[in-house]
Amino acid sequence: MARKKAAARATERSLFGITVLKAADHRVRRLKQEHEPSIHGNKVWNSSWVVIDFLEYQGLPRSAHVMEVGCGWGLVGIYCARRYEAHVVGVDADAAVFPYLQLHAQLNGVQIETRCRRFEELSTADLSGHDVLVGTDICFWDEMTEPLYRVVAEAMGQGAQQVIIADPGRPPFTRMADRCVAELGAEVKAWEVEEPIRASADLLIVGSLPRTRAR
């Protein structure tokens, strides 16, 4: 039993107060036999840690309503739920990512609602009622720029206080971000994380929240 527990710990790591499974973990490997994501949702991308680190700096109101678009394994939403007791909806075009999300949600003792939607399928009703919309590594094809811009603009129009999207600087993201700066008053910040993991990305930030850093 002790050996099994030690083996489990070797394939887990704690980052920003949440438990994350490595690819070698037997639970992840078992899921991969049954659910193979097809739109790059096969792992946690580093931009997730950049958004989480920014939220560590900025904070998030308790019990905020958060939507994570292109959520993949949902680590940003899980962090928001665990750290700030946020009500989180994870949205992804590929339903095969949701078993990985729910596995991590269970490990971290939180509940995440999920919806299978492409950007262009997100309706006004889907986007309303959320305080914050977040996304990481979700603008990597040219055809994504227009529908993602619409999602950002519509979310703000439906009362979101802030949108945060991270990307390492791919051209489609840069074009979409430039439009958000010109038309929505957004800003783009270069953000680097040193601890507990090294990562960097550009952050597109639309709107603002009161800085309420978690204690």
Check: CB of residue 107 under 8 Å from CB of residue 19.
yes
- Beta pairing, strands 87-92 & 112-116: parallel
Cα–Cα distance measured from residue 181 to residue 42, given in angstroms and rounded to the nearest whole number? 31
Cα–Cα distance measured from residue 25 to residue 4, given in angstroms and rounded to the nearest whole number? 12
CA angle 185, 87, 47 (to 5 degrees): 55
Check: CB of residue 173 under 8 Å from CB of residue 202.
yes
- pLDDT digit string (tens) for 13-67? 999 999 999 888 899 888 888 766 655 545 577 899 999 999 999 999 999 999 9
**Residue (of 81, 165, 73) closest to 119 by Cα position:** 165
Backbone angles phi, psi at 149, to 5 degrees: -60, -45
In the structure encoding, which two tokens stand for residue 209, read together?
A: 């929240």
Helix (H) or strand (E) holding 17: none
Q: Domains of the chain by range and CATH?
A: 2-207 (3.40.50.150)
Please state the rounded mean pLDDT for residues 150-178.
Answer: 97
In the structure encoding, which two tokens stand for residue 71, read together?
A: 């959520």
Cα–Cα distance measured from residue 101 to residue 98, given in angstroms and rounded to the nearest whole number? 5
- pLDDT digit string (tens) for 83-123? 999 999 999 999 999 999 999 999 999 999 999 999 999 99
Residue 3 has pLDDT above 50, yes or no: no
Residue 6 has pLDDT above 50, yes or no: no
Question: What global pTM score does this model have?
Answer: 0.90
Helix residue spans in 137-212 (DSSP H): 145-157, 171-184
What does the DSSP assignment read for 20-48? Answer: EE-TTSHHHHHHHHH---SSS-SS--THH
